[in-house]
């Protein structure tokens, strides 16, 4: 992610564009690559691009896209959206964590986990993205960014293996 | 090795597993996005330090060498076969290091300090980071004690001191390794730990070297680090640093260490491969910009510690191979400027039979006389000047035969000196032997012999002294100084030998 993408992501947040419009942009980017190809093309004139943008986007997002086109940064949209998400979470005091499990936790367990994470990282909201991973054999793995907390059977086995083989 | 029954093994394993405590701690992880040529690019592990060790999912280690905004470039210290896109990587928080200890003496190990000689695991005393800061100014003292190589040409003219860095430079097949090997063999019984670092060499060459060391009982005080040509560039890159970490372990115990890096040109090539793969900008000869620092930080670790720190030393003998005698290439000039002198070996000399093929004119030791015993200083006296005059005169002598007696005498003396400096492989001379040879040469004892006979006469001369003047030799070796009395005694003995033996054999041409 470049600094430019971070800056645009932040601006996008501060423009207070409704969340739905952002999601719409995200969907459009991945579903209609032709549109982005046109907006990114140096062959298409600025006037034509602006006309297209004017028909598809509205309000502040429309202006934002025009600026992106002007600086030929349309290809950075995925990074900009990523930066937007990160900044959004930061501003709304939300922690995004991934939980890999074998047996899904019940509501009480889940609430407990969310509380634990919120306390540990000092965030008010915790969003758990749950993924089932049978190869863990048992237990679960928590992943917050680059930090991983491994409570799975597979993790234990590999730790034991490393200890025994001395590697 | 005592045999262990299978029940015992199982009970040991059971015990280990029962006592295994799983500590779930936070780990910083990332995943491989690209791997190839011994390099892996990792996404994640954002807090990794430069030089930190990371562990791949399959247990292979890597060393962080490149930190970018979103990704980490690291060199793989092992097999990369099982590493693929998505492989999990965990930080260790530790910098690269190797186990060290006295048990390493007599062993052949790889770049990671693991035994490769099939004699089992090595018990380590401690763990040392392979990259260490060199001793500071206050921690050092000047080089004052000689490290005898046993090679007359070197000890007499380019003495190497303990803590010095003396480059051995020359084309391929000029006897660079042999000089280093002779220097190692000569340390027997002198309480010097010798470390030989093979970088990018053939396994067969290393095997032959180990065989020679074993044959001459030199393995007891030696360690061989081997990163062969088949090892990855990353292992070839770290091996000299790892070996120096072991050398420092001995140095800080107050011991003297001799370390031979064979050779640094291959080391630079390995580093160039790594740097290019890590997408660093290539500079002159495609080497990266920090190739000077690569060698300067390594050789700066050679030092003579102050007495307060135990007075140990690391003497470094780096070897650099030149192409067609080109000492002005990038790596040779770099290493020449880093070291405290160089021994320059020449193909022409080598093939004309002058072995060791030391070029007396271009070789130099910047520590010089400070690293010579008084005895050697007195005996070697004017040998360098005599040889320089001889070389100058030799050129003129080719044009005309009408020379005056002084010139002819100079030529004869020079020729005899050149013959005396020839020395067969693996035959280091003791200090006393070198001193009496030089004294005899100073007395022109060999000057009027034909060149072919000098070699034989030299052998006889040494045998004669060993047989009839053993006490005298012992005294020189012990006192390491030559007072007038001792000098006269040597001269007397030389005269007796000259009169008796040589007349008998009628070796004189006159």
Q: Which residues on A lie below 8 Å from B24 (Cβ)?
A: 149-151, 155
The whole-number pLDDT of residue A167 equals: 47
Q: Across chain A, what does the average pLDDT equal?
A: 89
- % of chain B beyond a pLDDT of 70: 97
Do the Cβ atoms of B16 and A164 come within 8 Å?
yes
Q: Judge if B77 and B166 occupy the same domain.
A: no
* pLDDT above 60 (res B1): no
Is there a domain that residue B14 lies in? Answer: no
The whole-number pLDDT of residue B404 equals: 86
Q: Compute CA distances A133 → A109, A155, A166, whole Å.
A: 18, 13, 28
The whole-number pLDDT of residue B506 equals: 63
* pLDDT above 70 (res A45): yes
The whole-number pLDDT of residue B2 equals: 55
Q: Judge if B278 and B167 occupy the same domain.
A: yes
Q: Judge if B338 and B402 occupy the same domain.
A: no
Is there a domain that residue B19 lies in? Answer: no
B447-472 tens-digit pLDDT: 888 888 898 889 989 999 999 999 99
B224-270 tens-digit pLDDT: 999 999 999 999 999 999 999 999 999 999 999 999 999 999 999 99
Mean pLDDT of B185-214: 96
Pairing verdict, β A94-101 and A139-144: antiparallel
* pLDDT above 90 (res B114): yes
Count of residues making up chain A: 167
* pLDDT above 80 (res B365): yes
The whole-number pLDDT of residue B370 equals: 86
* pLDDT above 80 (res B420): yes
Do the Cβ atoms of B69 and A151 come within 8 Å?
no
Mean pLDDT of B442-446: 88
Peptide linkage before B263 cis (omega within 30 of 0): yes
For testing the chain B interface, which of A142, A148, A164, A165 should be mutated: the one with the most B CBs within 10 Å? A148
The whole-number pLDDT of residue B346 equals: 94
Is there a domain that residue B398 lies in? Answer: yes
Q: Judge if B477 and B496 occupy the same domain.
A: yes
Mean pLDDT of B344-369: 91
| pLDDT-derived band at B507, boundaries 50, 70, 90 | low
Taking a C-beta distance cutoff of 8 angstroms, is the pair B72, B56 a contact? Answer: no
For testing the chain A interface, which of B12, B17, B27, B113 should be mutated: the one with the most A CBs within 10 Å? B27
Is the CA virtual torsion B298, B303, B308, B310 positive or negative?
A: positive
* pLDDT above 70 (res B351): yes
| Residue bearing the bigger pLDDT, B26 or B178 | B178
Q: Which residues on A lie below 8 Å from B27 (Cβ)?
A: 147-150
Do the Cβ atoms of B28 and A148 come within 8 Å?
yes
Q: Which residues on A lie below 8 Å from B22 (Cβ)?
A: 156, 159-160
- Domain final residue, candidates B354, B372, B390: B372
Q: Across chain B, what does the average pLDDT equal?
A: 92
* pLDDT above 70 (res B445): yes
| Residue bearing the bigger pLDDT, B180 or B453 | B180
Q: Is A135 on the interface with B (CB under 8 A)?
A: no
Is the CA virtual torsion B272, B277, B282, B285 positive or negative?
A: positive
The whole-number pLDDT of residue A97 equals: 92
Q: Which residues on B lie below 8 Å from A167 (Cβ)?
A: 59
Q: Judge if B234 and B317 occupy the same domain.
A: yes
Q: Judge if B183 and B272 occupy the same domain.
A: yes
Q: Judge if B41 and B164 occupy the same domain.
A: no
Q: Judge if B80 and B104 occupy the same domain.
A: no
Mean pLDDT of B30-39: 92
Is there a domain that residue B118 lies in? Answer: yes
Is the CA virtual torsion A131, A132, A133, A139 positive or negative?
A: positive
Mean pLDDT of A46-50: 91
- % of chain A beyond a pLDDT of 70: 99
CATH of the domain at B251: 3.40.50.300
Q: Which residues contact A78 (CB under 8 A, 6 or more apart)?
A: A29
Q: Judge if B67 and B199 occupy the same domain.
A: no
**Tokens encoding A120:** 């540990």
Q: Where are the domains of chain A?
A: 3-88, 93-165
CATH of the domain at B467: 1.20.150.20
Q: Domain range for residue B108? A: 99-372
Do the Cβ atoms of A1 and B70 come within 8 Å?
yes
Q: How many structural domains are present in chain B?
A: 3
Q: Judge if B397 and B281 occupy the same domain.
A: no
What DSSP string describes B157-199?
HS--BTT-B-EEEE-TTSSHHHHHHHHHHTTTTTTEEEEEEEE
Q: Judge if B311 and B170 occupy the same domain.
A: yes
List the CATH code of the domain at A3-88: 1.10.520
Element (H, E) at A136: none
Is the CA virtual torsion B399, B402, B406, B410 positive or negative?
A: positive
pTM: 0.88
The whole-number pLDDT of residue B400 equals: 67
* pLDDT above 60 (res B510): no
The whole-number pLDDT of residue A166 equals: 63
Nearest residue to B263 (alpha-carbon basis) of B357, B330, B196, B183: B196
B290-314 tens-digit pLDDT: 999 999 999 999 999 999 999 999 9
Q: In chain B, whose CA is at the least distance from the CA of A140?
A: B24
Q: Judge if B479 and B360 occupy the same domain.
A: no
**Tokens encoding B256:** 């003297």
The whole-number pLDDT of residue B500 equals: 81
Q: Is A154 on the interface with B (CB under 8 A)?
A: no
B4-19 tens-digit pLDDT: 788 888 888 888 788 8
Helix boundaries (H) for B278-402: 291-299, 330-338, 347-351, 374-380, 383-397
- For residues B25 and B27, give the distance between their C-alpha atoms in angstroms, rounded to a whole number: 6
Catalytic residues of B: 366
- Domain final residue, candidates B77, B94, B111: B94
End-to-end CA distance of chain B: 68
CA count, 13 A, side-chain hemisphere, B163: 24
**Tokens encoding A30:** 């991945």
CATH of the domain at B40: 2.40.30.20
- Across the interface, of B45, B59, B69, the residue whose CB is closest to A146 is B45
Buried/exposed code over B122-147 (b: 16+ C-beta within 10 A; e: otherwise) = bebeeebbbbeebbeeeebbebebbb
Is there a domain that residue B166 lies in? Answer: yes
Radius of gyration of chain A (CA): 21
Is there a domain that residue B445 lies in? Answer: yes
């Amino acid at each position: 992610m470049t600094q430019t993408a971070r800056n645009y992501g932040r601006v996008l947040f501060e423009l207070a564009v409704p969340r739905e419009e952002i999601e719409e942009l995200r969907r459009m980017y991945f579903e209609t690559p032709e549109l982005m190809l046109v907006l990114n093309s140096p062959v298409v004139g600025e006037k034509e691009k602006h006309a297209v943008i004017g028909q598809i986007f509205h309000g502040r997002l429309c202006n934002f896209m025009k600026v992106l086109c002007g600086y030929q940064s349309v290809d950075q949209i995925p990074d900009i959206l990523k930066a937007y998400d990160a900044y959004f979470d930061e501003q709304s005091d939300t922690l995004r964590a991934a939980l890999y499990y074998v047996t899904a936790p019940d509501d009480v367990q889940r609430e407990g986990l969310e509380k634990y994470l919120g306390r540990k990282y000092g965030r008010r909201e915790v969003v758990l993205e749950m993924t089932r991973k049978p190869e863990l054999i048992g237990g679960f793995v928590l992943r917050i960014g680059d930090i991983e907390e491994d409570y799975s059977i597979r993790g234990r086995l590999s730790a034991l293996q490393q200890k025994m083989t001395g590697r | 090795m005592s045999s262990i029954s299978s029940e015992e093994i199982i009970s040991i394993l059971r015990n280990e597993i029962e006592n295994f405590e799983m500590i779930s701690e936070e780990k910083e992880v990332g995943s491989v996005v690209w791997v190839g040529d011994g390099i892996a690019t990792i996404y994640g592990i954002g807090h990794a330090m430069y030089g930190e060790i990371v562990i791949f999912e399959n247990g292979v280690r890597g060393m962080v060498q490149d930190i970018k905004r979103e990704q980490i470039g690291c060199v793989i210290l092992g097999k990369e076969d099982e590493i693929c896109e998505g492989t999990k990587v965990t930080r260790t928080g530790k910098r690269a290091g190797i186990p060290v200890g006295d048990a390493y003496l007599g062993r052949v190990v790889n770049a990671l300090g693991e035994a490769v000689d099939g004699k089992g695991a090595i018990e380590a005393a401690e763990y040392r980071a392979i990259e260490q800061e060199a001793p500071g100014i206050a921690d050092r003292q000047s080089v004052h004690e000689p490290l005898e190589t046993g090679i007359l040409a070197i000890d007499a003219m380019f003495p190497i001191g303990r803590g010095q860095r003396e480059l051995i430079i020359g084309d391929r097949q000029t006897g660079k390794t042999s000089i280093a090997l002779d220097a190692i063999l000569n340390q027997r019984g002198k309480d010097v730990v010798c470390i030989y670092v093979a970088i990018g060499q053939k396994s067969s060459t290393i095997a032959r070297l180990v065989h020679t060391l074993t044959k001459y009982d030199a393995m007891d005080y030696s360690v061989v680090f081997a990163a062969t040509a088949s090892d990855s560039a990353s292992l070839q890159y770290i091996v000299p640093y790892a070996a120096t970490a072991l050398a420092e372990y001995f140095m800080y115990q107050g011991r003297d260490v001799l370390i031979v890096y064979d050779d640094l040109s291959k080391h630079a090539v390995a580093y160039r491969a790594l740097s290019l793969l890590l997408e660093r900008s290539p500079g002159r000869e495609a080497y990266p910009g920090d190739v000077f620092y690569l060698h300067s930080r390594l050789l700066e670790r050679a030092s003579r510690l102050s007495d307060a720190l135990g007075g140990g030393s690391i003497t470094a003998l780096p070897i650099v191979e030149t192409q067609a005698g080109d000492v002005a290439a990038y790596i040779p000039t770099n290493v020449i400027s880093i070291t405290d002198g160089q021994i320059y070996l020449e193909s022409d000399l080598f093939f004309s039979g002058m072995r060791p093929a030391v070029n007396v004119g271009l070789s130099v030791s910047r520590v010089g006389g400070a690293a010579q015993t008084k005895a050697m200083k007195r005996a070697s006296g004017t040998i360098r000047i005599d040889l320089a005059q001889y070389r100058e005169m030799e050129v003129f002598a080719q044009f005309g035969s009408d020379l005056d007696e002084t010139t002819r005498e100079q030529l004869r003396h020079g020729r005899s000196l050149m013959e005396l400096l020839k020395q067969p492989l693996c035959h280091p001379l003791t200090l006393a032997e070198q001193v009496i040879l030089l004294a005899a040469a100073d007395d022109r004892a060999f000057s009027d012999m034909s060149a072919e006979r000098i070699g034989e006469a030299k052998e006889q001369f040494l045998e004669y002294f060993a047989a009839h003047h053993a006490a005298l030799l012992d005294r020189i070796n012990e006192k390491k100084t030559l007072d007038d009395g001792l000098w006269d005694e040597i001269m007397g003995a030389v005269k007796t030998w000259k009169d008796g033996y040589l007349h008998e054999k009628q070796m004189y041409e006159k």
